[in-house]
Structure 1
Amino acid sequence: MGRIGEVQAPVATRDALARGRLRASLVPDLLVEARRIVNTVIAGWHGRRKRGIGENFWQFRPYVEGDSSRIDWRRSARDDHTYVRDREWEAAHTVWLWADPSPSMLYKSAAASVSKESRALVLALALAELLSRSGERIAWPDLTDPFTARNGAERIAAQLSHAAALPAKPDLSAIRRFCDIVLVSDFLDPAEETKAWLDVLARHGVRAHLIEVADPAEETFPYAGRTEFTDPETGDKLTAGRAEMLAEEYRLLYKARREELAAWCKRLGWSYTVNHTDRLASEALVRVHMAMTVEGGHAGLIARGNHTGSIANRAGKAVA
């Protein structure tokens, strides 16, 4: 039986310099890919899409008694209704971006076109590009402070290239209310651990958007026969004599983990999107954009692509 998947560019997790050099070699190409994807979705990417202080016209709407907005008499003269002119809110908004740098993200199966790490970085950089073009402030936890720049994606890419080591889970306590944060990861840790880590965001009133990057082999569990699974985080190994006997329980656990996180996000008004590495990255960008432009939060959005299977622990990142 041929190899179903492998860990891309295996590097000892303790060798921070080697991981930094590997990331530095990948980031320029991933920035180019991110910009290519941005160019395919930019036509549908709009501003904040809400009424407020700004110079650009947004919409006409019927006047209601007590409305403090100024009546547009020219538009009102066209028919029997009275209209007011709304401008689009243009105050800069802060959006934090983060892509999981942990070793588990290096996994890539034969069914996928890219590794999870590559897809996560492309999504984060593409969002940085889109948000920068829209005039928003962007930042990366433990890497940059919030800033506004037209070349925001390039600046973040340069910072990532020179970061020798990034924490597996950054400190999120400095992120405050009225900010958004986009977190891109495989979220394969136990759901309780993930919720405990992100609880500080909920307490601070931050709106979060989780993008789960999933390899198709992690969902479908296509392993059979004698198979050795390796945990890329710890190096622990598990040998299964008949791997297919684990498949049903594995999928149930995976599905339960995802559904628990998605339900939790929904209760908080956050969004939860799944992007598979054999699908287009632009699919996730469109869904996250929809979630970010909904005023007051979004009811936990799940995008499953065309897969329905599931898993729950790091056995899915195995080399078989």
Structure 2
Amino acid sequence: MASIGTTVERTPSADVLSRAQARAALMPDCLVEARRLANTVISGWHGRRKRGIGENFWQFRPYVDGESLSRIDWRRSARDDHTYVRDREWEAAHTIWLWADLSPSMMYKSTLGSVSKESRALVLMLALAEILARSGERIGCPGVMEPIAARNAAERLATAIAHSPLADGLPRTDMIRGSSDIVLIGDFLDPPDEVMERLGPLARRGLRGHVVEIADPAEDLFPYAGRTEFTDPETGDKLTAGRAETLKEDYARAYQARRAALADSLRHLGWSFIAHRTDHLASEALVAVHMYLSGLPAMKAAGERQGERP
């Protein structure tokens, strides 16, 4: 997405170093905000607990013919005329891969946005890691951190990201094995066909995907007027508009068509899609993604409408 401003000539190595330093400096604040957000969202929740094989008691339920007699709780059954089974909590850790786009376009922040797209993406990713780690899930980041099951997974993920090399575009996923969930957070401004060319094979390998599109409000609203210079943060290319307001209608049509095409293609894969703006509460996107991961479809429509609100 084009940003606005004056471009200063810099060497590629200086740009890489500057971006790496900016990302490292951003990480502590993002981790603090992620933990605050996670604590707010999970208040009153019970994680992703499920009935299954484990050590912790979950519930009593009536015995069903054909079940092993060893599962019957005779002490509870002696209290009345029914036979009860003691269920334990499900403890099979699930692997969830988290990824945030850290390419130059994600550093964009207009005067209408409360934070940069990069900052919001990192906070959402780390908050998800915090919530999922507390539920016993295995958390990984493609090309950055192998899956781990640890209470401090969010902190370890933040450290790994701060020290990882800069990479543009979608992540490498050849290290992902078996059935997992993957959460991809970015602006996804490339043509939908190019994005789906990378994501389609992941779905065919059995990955359940959840895509969160982060947008600055200026990208949605195009509030520009008069002589305006737009600069592409990825390539440095510039476009000068004498009367920027004349571009608004065509821009809005193209921008919304791109989003709709991407969302439709993802739904055909069975993946979820959430559009989120940086002037909205981060908790909105976090709750929507967590509900998708928990298999609760009631939140889907609400999550997908986030990007449509003024």
- TM-score, normalised on structure 1? 0.83
Instruction: Assess if the C-alpha contact under 8 Å between 1:176 and 1:206 holds in 2.
Output: no
Give the structure 2 partner of residue 315 of structure 1: none
Superposition deviation, residue 189 in structure 1: 1.0
Give secondary structure in 2 for the equivalent of 1:218: helix
Matches within 5 A, 1:202-281: 202-281=203-282
Instruction: Assess if the C-alpha contact under 8 Å between 1:100 and 1:168 holds in 2.
Output: yes
CA distance in structure 2 between the partners assigned to 1:100 and 1:130 by the alignment: 20
CA distance in structure 2 between the partners assigned to 1:23 and 1:244 by the alignment: 34
Distance 1:44 1:263, change over 3 A: farther
Superposition deviation, residue 242 in structure 1: 2.4
Matches within 5 A, 1:79-94: 84-94=85-95
Superposition deviation, residue 163 in structure 1: 2.4
Instruction: Assess if the C-alpha contact under 8 Å between 1:269 and 1:299 holds in 2.
Output: no
CA distance in structure 2 between the partners assigned to 1:11 and 1:58 by the alignment: 62
Instruction: Assess if the C-alpha contact under 8 Å between 1:105 and 1:185 holds in 2.
Output: yes
Distance 1:158 1:236, change over 3 A: same
Give the structure 2 partner of residue 190 of structure 1: 191
Give the structure 1 partner of residue 294 of structure 2: 293
Range that drifts further, 118-127 or 222-231: 222-231
Distance 1:10 1:22, change over 3 A: farther
How many matched pairs? 303
Aligned CA RMSD, in angstroms, stands at: 2.9
Distance 1:77 1:232, change over 3 A: same
CA distance in structure 2 between the partners assigned to 1:44 and 1:200 by the alignment: 38
Give the structure 1 partner of residue 99 of structure 2: 98
Superposition deviation, residue 301 in structure 1: 7.1
Superposition deviation, residue 280 in structure 1: 1.1
Distance 1:193 1:77, change over 3 A: farther
CA distance in structure 1 between the partners assigned to 2:116 and 2:217 by the alignment: 11
Percent identity reads 62
CA distance in structure 2 between the partners assigned to 1:157 and 1:251 by the alignment: 35
Instruction: Assess if the C-alpha contact under 8 Å between 1:269 and 1:300 holds in 2.
Output: no
Distance 1:25 1:66, change over 3 A: same
Give the structure 1 partner of residue 41 of structure 2: 41
Matches within 5 A, 1:6-17: 14=12, 15-17=15-17
Distance 1:269 1:86, change over 3 A: farther
Distance 1:63 1:20, change over 3 A: same
CA distance in structure 1 between the partners assigned to 2:60 and 2:187 by the alignment: 43
Range that drifts further, 121-130 or 72-81: 72-81
CA distance in structure 2 between the partners assigned to 1:276 and 1:236 by the alignment: 25
Give the structure 1 partner of residue 30 of structure 2: 30
Superposition deviation, residue 57 in structure 1: 3.5
Q: Which amino acid aligns with 2:130?
A: E
Give secondary structure in 2 for the equivalent of 1:108: coil
Residue 107, structure 1, aligned to residue 108, structure 2: yes
Q: Which amino acid aligns with 2:237?
A: D
CA distance in structure 1 between the partners assigned to 2:90 and 2:292 by the alignment: 17
Q: Which amino acid aligns with 2:122?
A: L
Give secondary structure in 2 for the equivalent of 1:229: strand
Instruction: Assess if the C-alpha contact under 8 Å between 2:31 and 2:123 holds in 1.
Output: yes
Distance 1:166 1:306, change over 3 A: closer
Superposition deviation, residue 116 in structure 1: 0.2
Give the structure 2 partner of residue 132 of structure 1: 133
1:250-302 C-alpha deviation (Å, 9 max, x unpaired): 22222222222222222333221122101111111111111111189x97874
Instruction: Assess if the C-alpha contact under 8 Å between 1:48 and 1:88 holds in 2.
Output: no
Give secondary structure in 2 for the equivalent of 1:109: coil
Give secondary structure in 1 for the equivalent of 2:306: coil
CA distance in structure 2 between the partners assigned to 1:127 and 1:13 by the alignment: 36
Unaligned 5+ runs, structure 2: none
1:216-274 C-alpha deviation (Å, 9 max, x unpaired): 11111112222221111111111222222222222222222222222222233322112
